Structure 1
Amino acid sequence: MADGGGQGKPVDGRAARWAGQREKRRAEVVTAALAAIGEHGPWVSTERIAERAGISRPRLYRHFDDADDVYGAVGRRISELIIAEMVPVLTGPSGSAREIITRIVRTFVVWMTENVSLYHYVVSRSVEADPDRRLWAVDIRARISGLLGKVIGGYLALLGLDARLADPLSFGLVGMVEATTARWSVEPGELDRAELVERLSDWAWGVLDDVLRAAGLELDPDLPLPPLTIPE
């Protein structure tokens, strides 16, 4: 007599359908939230998000546990958007050092300045976040810095230099570009965006050039470098 020990519990069809519908509805609400953030700014309320999604606020919480759950889902989508933009320029660097740096800086600055409300949405929630809440702004910085670190480390290794410097360098450079762009997005002064990209690229090269010179190497920033393939 078979003991049935290898058989799993039967799947509740209604529960599976509800789970699928819930995920679909959550995705629709997140899309509506992005539009609401663009319209009302980074401090948009869940009432505005529900309104944009065409549902009542109580109905919103049939699909989300609470406001933090809404933040988490929206933060994840924003993270996916910016990472999708950055991955191509960070995983296939080619050209001269100046071209590689400028391409990376320009991609980040353009995305951030064209989606400034989305950026401030994740940053503002990270500042006031509960310690147990996932901080998407921190995740975004870490992911971009991690990929940039692989680029810097790859070229340092090719040049016979200490690749251990890549991690602190990448986090420092990402922090500089992010903070400067965030400031420029609210107080641009007399700089236009193209000039901002140019200045940030020059400053980034200045930092890297200082590291190379300290190791006894002078590199022409306009000299083509071997292309790298960086794993995601």
Structure 2
Amino acid sequence: MAPNVKSDGRTTRWDRHRAERREEFVLAAVRTIDTLGPDASVADIAAEAGVSKPVLYRYFADKGELHAAVGAWAADLVLARVLSAVLAPATARDRVTAGVAAYLDTLAEHPQAFLLLSRPTSGQDPLGPGKDQIAAKLTRLLGDALRHLGGDAGAAEPWAHAVVGLGTSVGQWWLERHTVSRAAAARYLSDFIWHALSGAAAESGVDLSGLDAGDGDVTPIRSEKHR
């Protein structure tokens, strides 16, 4: 039988310290990439963080792991902004518009960081886990909505992944080309997503206007923290 070892809290404190330091380094990486572009080096990031490269490598195995951590930061930021927009009281159509606008506004705040993340290197996609996370949240929201309206909730997952794919592709295109304004890109993308979702739902006899909310009521689309 294993001995009963009492924790003195040192392991917990170290884990918390390590997590806090990693977060500091990720934010330093974002600032560096925003300033110097996607080709910013680990040395550049270490300098911004005020540490040496060896110190940085104590927290990240290599540059790929650091970029993956930046990808996780980016996905969390996008998810928080988009959820805040789509959970606000409004018509279903306006929620889609607000969510897309929040997404492109976030990309515009950190264009160089998102450009880096949109270009996989060494066969790795630093945004991969984040896109899966966003798709999973969107699947739950769409599933709730379809069940509420009496539709086929099985459509929620493929629709969610389709929306994430559209957003990723259009976001990368806009960051690279800027052939239209951010407002125009948001309008075109939200129009496409809305008509794709509402059209597919209508084919199954479901009217998404049944999700229109007012007076602070955002049921059935609600935040995970309320579940």
TM-score range, shorter chain: 0.7 to 0.9
Amino acid at match of 2:64: D
> How do 1:22-171 and structure 2 match up within 5 A?
22-90=18-86, 92=87, 94-124=89-119, 126-129=120-123, 135-171=125-161
- Spell out, residue by residue over 1:137-175, the C-alpha distance to the aligned partner (whole angstroms, 9 max, x if none): 112211222222222222222221111111111111221
Tell me which structure has the larger Cα radius of gyration. Answer: 1
Structure 1 gap ranges (5+): none
Instruction: Please name the residue that 2:202 is paired with.
Output: 213
Q: CA RMSD in A?
A: 3.1
Amino acid at match of 1:185: L
CA distance in 2, matches of 1:24, 1:96: 40
Instruction: Please name the residue that 1:231 is paired with.
Output: 224
Identity rate, percent: 26
Alignment of 1:7 with 2:11, yes or no, is no
Normalising by the residue count of structure 1, what TM-score does the alignment of the two structures yield? 0.78
Greater RCO, CA 8 A, separation 6+: 1
Normalising by the residue count of structure 2, what TM-score does the alignment of the two structures yield? 0.80
Instruction: Please name the residue that 1:203 is paired with.
Output: 192
CA distance in 1, matches of 2:142, 2:15: 43
CA distance in 2, matches of 1:30, 1:168: 32
CA distance in 2, matches of 1:200, 1:210: 15
1:180 deviates by 1.1
